[in-house]
């Protein structure tokens, strides 16, 4: 699939990977529908991309935890462009708290954004994507293959996303719809700064070494390539690929290694 003149919906497009995706797809000639709760920020991004890349981009205020917002997002896309070629379910939120300490509302919030946001947007966009034999992308995580300590709700939501998209892929084997799960490694973005603590407040500061992570721009480039190539799954780092391999064949060993990694983070939760 070449991306020129394709119509792409990107959720969570106001910052981080979502903003980088908007730039990458605009660079390749796609028209964009940018969605997030940060409408003013989105409008600025859309205008900048239109001016720089001679594409058309619109901003739509959308809270993906609200099904009616997701339905309205699809409706606005059709009113503006008349079709949908690609849906990128990127909106997401993280957490940092041990399960024994966390308020269960934090777990529910993560599922609402990361899992149900994907379900709602996909449900309303799917009939149009069937018409164009287009693509549905879930921006997941290695946390969807290996549970991470202090991120139980995040891992659960990404496992759920992966299972949902895997089932959807099988259901659409004969419709021509492409389903891709994209799993970045740790990415330098604001997702850890906005991660929820045990009480549901944003932690405000990353506890990991951001300068050693993938950039959002690199993630966006790999996802765009994956859409063009109609890849099934993108595991983007050697560490991620090794994690998936070890989880299948040496899960006990992997548990110990993951524990060691997270016991070394700043203000570690594991002792």
Cβ burial 76-91 (10 Å sphere, 16+ → b, else e): bbeeebeebbbbbbbb
CATH classification code of 7-238: 3.40.50.720
- pLDDT of amino acid 194: 80
Q: What is the pLDDT of residues 156-187, one digit of tens each?
A: 999 999 999 999 999 999 999 999 999 998 77
Query: How many Å apart are CA 78 and CA 124, to the nearest integer?
Result: 11
Q: What is the pLDDT of residues 199-240, one digit of tens each?
A: 999 876 655 555 667 889 999 999 999 999 999 999 999 999
- pLDDT of amino acid 164: 98
Checking if the pLDDT of 43 tops 70, the result is yes
Question: In terms of pLDDT, which residue wins out, 266 or 100?
Answer: 100
Q: Which residues contact 148 (CB under 8 A, 6 or more apart)?
A: 154, 155, 258, 262
Query: How many Å apart are CA 125 and CA 240, to the nearest integer?
Result: 30
Dihedral of CA atoms 149, 151, 155, 158 in degrees, nearest 10, equals -150
Could you give the C-alpha distances from 49 to 4, 5, 78, in angstroms and in order? 14, 14, 20
Q: What is the pTM of this model?
A: 0.93
Would you call 154 a catalytic residue per the annotation?
yes
Percent of the chain with pLDDT over 90: 86
- pLDDT of amino acid 203: 76
Which residue among 39, 53, 145, 154 is the active-site one?
154
Cα Rg, the chain, nearest whole Å = 18
Question: Residue 33: helix, strand or coil by DSSP?
Answer: strand
């Amino acid at each position: 699939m070449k991306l020129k003149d394709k119509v792409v919906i990107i959720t969570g497009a106001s910052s981080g990977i979502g903003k980088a995706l908007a730039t990458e797809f605009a660079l390749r000639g796609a028209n964009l529908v940018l969605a997030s709760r940060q409408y003013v920020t989105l409008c600025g991004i859309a205008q900048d991309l239109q001016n720089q890349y001679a594409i058309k981009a619109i901003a739509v205020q959308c809270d993906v935890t609200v099904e009616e917002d997701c339905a309205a997002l699809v409706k606005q896309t059709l009113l503006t462009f008349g079709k949908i070629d690609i849906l990128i379910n990127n909106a997401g939120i993280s957490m940092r708290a041990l399960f024994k300490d966390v308020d269960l509302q934090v777990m529910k919030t993560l599922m609402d954004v990361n899992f149900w946001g994907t379900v709602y947007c996909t449900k309303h966009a799917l009939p149009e994507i069937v018409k164009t034999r287009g693509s549905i992308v879930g921006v997941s995580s290695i946390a969807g293959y290996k549970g991470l300590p202090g991120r139980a709700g995040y891992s659960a939501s990404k496992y759920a996303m992966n299972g949902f998209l895997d089932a959807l892929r099988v259901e659409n084997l004969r419709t021509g719809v492409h389903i891709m799960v994209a799993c970045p490694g740790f990415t330098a973005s604001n997702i850890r700064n906005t991660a929820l603590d045990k009480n549901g407040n944003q932690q405000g500061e990353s506890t990991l070494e951001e300068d050693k992570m993938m950039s959002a721009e690199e993630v966006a480039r790999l996802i765009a390539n994956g859409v063009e190539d109609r890849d099934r799954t993108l595991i983007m780092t050697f560490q991620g690929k090794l994690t998936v391999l070890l989880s299948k064949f040496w899960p006990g060993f992997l548990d110990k290694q993951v524990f060691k990694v997270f016991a070394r983070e700043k203000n570690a939760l594991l002792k």
